């Protein structure tokens, strides 16, 4: 073999080796159910603080020998004690304050019931180092959060702008349904392609049955409204009853009724084409 031919063979071999290495480290695309199974069973090989928020969340690296991917872990489970409630002591302005990882799991299960799973990372309950918490799939290909989008005045264009506007309304409906008290700008992500993703519902599912910001509910996805209308208490109990009290579920169902009533009234006043998309 001539020196030139040998050099060509070596270059080709090197290229194939690099390609094989890239392929070996590429995370296979998983379905939502496969992601959930991975979160429940994959081995934790690394952990470090996320460094955002006040709940001490961790970023974990998990592997099952084939797939390696990160997850967030939140174990916060704080609530006002009975004597603090009787004394009228308030935390974050709330008498019946709760900040719990359980609500992250409940929010995910409810989002699946309502067809909003693309707007939230799959989440399961799992122990880490002897402590129960919520394992959530680490969101890939994040462009920015809402705070950065506002600071840089970045705006989606064309049909992306329409789609993002609709996703924001879906988020608003969901936030009202679960009475989320902490939907801050760092908890709203945009991935490449302008998919909106909601994070962190540890301060949701309050007991107050009224809506927080009913005036913010101006339009709604038709399918989402149909799913809300068809949602039964038993559905919520089956999906999220391990993480919610009966009182929290009752309050959620009352807010569901108010959301449906509001959109029915808006449709009667303005017409379906102006309210539903």
- Single pTM value for the model: 0.86
pLDDT at 50 over 80: yes
Share of the chain above pLDDT 90, in %: 80
pLDDT at 153 over 80: yes
> Which of 193, 202, 196, 197 has its CA nearest to residue 92?
202
Token representation of residue 108: 């995910």
Q: Cα(248)–Cα(241) distance, rounded to whole angstroms?
A: 10
Q: Torsion angle of alpha carbons 240, 241, 242, 246, nearest 10°? A: 140
Q: Residue holding tokens 């009290």?
A: 245
pLDDT digits (tens, 9 = 90+) for 198-230: 999 999 999 999 999 999 999 999 999 999 999
Local confidence band at 85 (pLDDT 50, 70, 90 cut-offs): low
pLDDT at 225: 98
> Which of 226, 209, 225 has its CA nearest to residue 217?
225
Q: How is the chain split into domains, by residue range? A: 32-275
More confident position, 12 or 149: 149
Cα distances (angstroms) measured from residue 178 to each of 107, 169, 214, 239, 252: 8, 14, 13, 14, 6
């Amino acid at each position: 073999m001539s020196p030139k031919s040998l050099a060509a063979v070596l270059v080709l071999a090197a290229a194939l080796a690099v390609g094989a290495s890239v392929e070996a480290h590429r995370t296979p695309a998983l379905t939502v159910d496969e992601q959930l199974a991975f979160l429940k069973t994959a081995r934790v090989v690394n952990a470090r603080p996320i460094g955002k928020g006040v709940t001490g969340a961790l970023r974990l690296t998990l592997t099952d020998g084939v797939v390696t991917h990160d997850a967030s872990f939140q174990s916060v489970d704080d609530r006002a004690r009975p004597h603090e409630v009787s004394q009228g002591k308030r935390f974050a302005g709330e008498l019946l304050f709760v900040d719990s990882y359980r609500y992250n799991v409940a929010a995910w299960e409810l989002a699946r019931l309502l067809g909003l799973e693309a707007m939230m990372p799959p989440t399961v309950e799992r122990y880490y180092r002897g402590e129960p918490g919520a394992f959530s799939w680490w969101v890939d290909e994040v462009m920015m959060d809402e705070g950065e989008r506002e600071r840089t005045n970045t705006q989606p264009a064309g049909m992306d702008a329409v789609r993002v506007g609709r996703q924001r309304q879906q988020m608003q409906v969901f936030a009202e349904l679960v009475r989320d008290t902490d939907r801050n700008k760092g908890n709203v992500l945009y991935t490449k392609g302008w998919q909106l993703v909601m994070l962190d519902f540890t301060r949701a599912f309050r007991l107050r049955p009224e809506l927080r910001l009913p005036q913010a509910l101006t339009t709604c996805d038709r399918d989402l409204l149909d799913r809300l209308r068809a949602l039964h208490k038993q559905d919520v109990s089956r999906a999220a009853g391990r993480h919610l009290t009966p009182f929290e579920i009752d309050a959620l169902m009352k807010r569901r009724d108010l959301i449906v009533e509001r959109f029915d009234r808006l449709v009667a006043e303005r017409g379906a084409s102006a309210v539903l998309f």
